[in-house]
Chain A
């Protein structure tokens, strides 16, 4: 567990505390639970990153050296934090996910992809509100 420190307005603090108590009861951990939920939601809104996605990307970072060594030129699939498939083509690894999987990583090991992409003149976007990046 970690401590998060910051300042908010008294009105916001009062309203947050009241809502947390309503939701999680008048217990000691109510504020922490509500704060954790609020931070999770904010992060999801800001980064669009789900828990499954975070777990898979963390696994990729951890397994990267092993993947580069053992799977060069192959497609690899990471789901629920572990390597679940590999193959020579996308067809080989495009299998229907079982259960409630919301995110998987599928990539060709060692493929060089551009990190900066010019989008051209024609790209237009819908207004997505204040969370747009």
Chain B
């Protein structure tokens, strides 16, 4: 039962569908969001990056104060082939329940409203998705 001690999160409802999520705190150059508790963010293995962040949160965290040079920004491609320029900024993601802090980056694009944890974030973690119980568990 070690995994239960380290952290588990119920699936999150998105558009009527239950999806795996992890509770995180995101630290930008001027502070952490949320200040208390944690923000449940969907885990999406279809997204290659570390953390996709909504435009609103990108602004709220003042990530323009920790942005990467433009030549290190990426081009994002949706499954329908649409291309987006992704602004990219250095940040830290905390997983409070697991007492983890990971250095990484957040990216966004014009009009983005989603927050997603992607494959690059998962590289540093062991995690199981418990479908029947609808729980994401960190090992």
Contact = CB atoms under 8 A, between A and B. Distances in A.
Contacts of B114: 122-124
Interface residues of A, number: 40
Contact of A107 (B52, B68, B120): B68
Interface residues of B, number: 48
B18 interface: no
A99 interface: no
Contacts, number: 137
A54 to B, nearest CB: 9
A69 interface: no
A133 B113 CA distance: 15
Contacts of A3: none
14 contacts: A57-B69, A96-B30, A97-B65, A105-B67, A106-B29, A106-B68, A108-B103, A116-B74, A117-B86, A120-B45, A122-B47, A123-B112, A132-B110, A133-B110
Given A89-B103, A116-B77, A117-B47, 18 more contacts: A94-B66, A102-B65, A106-B68, A107-B68, A114-B49, A114-B74, A116-B74, A117-B75, A117-B76, A117-B107, A119-B52, A119-B79, A119-B84, A120-B45, A123-B112, A125-B84, A126-B113, A133-B85
